[in-house]
Amino acid sequence: MHAMKTSMIIWDFDGTLLPNEPHDSEQTLMLYKLRETGEKIPFFIRALALILLYADQKEHLRKVFKRFYIRFMTGTAMDIFDPVCTRLAANISEADRQAIMQLANQGYRMIVLSCGTANLCEKTLQKAGLAGCFESIAGNRFESENGKISTMTLYIPNPEDKVRYLVKRKIEPGRCMAVGDGYTDIPMLDWAKISVLIDRTERKQIKYAHKNYHFVRSLPEILNIEQDRITHRA
């Protein structure tokens, strides 16, 4: 790949930089609070949390899940992010870490745009030794008061907000590669000149076969995409 051809790579986080095995970062955070903090949570709230977790895994009730997630996590100590992100970082393979670092070393500007929780993105990438590869990480941010989660500021609540973020900063789609894994990334993938869909299970290629996307099963495969395009043109 040559940085002069694609100057910026825009990454999604959950399912892209972080494999969902089997839960994404927000689901993992909720499960940690439910199962490992020892906090007394009413049965009804526990049951509702698990129902919405399952729905979110199946890509249903996204906005309902987000509203519940924010209320459920409010009042939780901010230090919960440390053990959860340590666990999440362990899910990023050495091969994926090397691929990300190689792209950064080749001179690509890289940013992360997530409809998820920025606090989780930042600390997970930090614990994986990758935070320095990205010039910015944008998502929805938990705010704190007296060391506890007080509210969430929604900077990128919806898939379309990723494109709005890029347009507002006058980032040119013709000089961008976008990398995502699913439905919250479609507007961003459609906007960018080069679009890469991470399909680790090879189930999404059929669903999005009508799109002009590159389908890859792992991050190291991205290293070859632009070179392949140049060779094909030749």
pLDDT band at 228 (very low <50, low <70, confident <90, very high): low
**CA atoms of 104 and 84, how far apart (whole Å):** 26
Residue range 126-160, pLDDT digits in tens? 999 999 999 999 999 999 999 999 999 999 999 99
- Give me the residue label for tokens 């609540």: 157
Phi first, then psi: give them for residue 153, nearest 5 degrees: -90, 120
How high is the mean pLDDT of the chain? 91
Tokens representing 42?
């009413």
**Alpha carbons 78 and 171: distance in angstroms, whole number:** 33
Q: 216 near 196, Cβ under 8 Å?
A: yes
What's the pLDDT at 232? 40
Q: How many CB atoms lie within 10 A of CB 181?
A: 23
Instruction: Give the model confidence (pLDDT) of 164-203 as tens digits.
Output: 999 999 999 999 999 999 889 999 999 999 999 999 888 8
pTM of the model: 0.90
Kindly report, residue by residue over 63-100, the tens digit of the pLDDT: 899 999 999 999 999 999 999 999 999 999 999 999 99
Strand partners, 216: 198
Contacts of 1-5 with CB under 8 Å at 24 or more apart are: 1/103, 1/106, 1/108, 1/223, 1/224, 1/225, 1/226, 1/227, 2/226, 2/227, 2/230, 3/106, 3/107, 3/108, 5/226, 5/230
DSSP state of 77: B
Amino acid 189 reads: L
> In the chain, how long is the greatest CA-to-CA distance?
64
Share of the chain above pLDDT 90, in %: 78
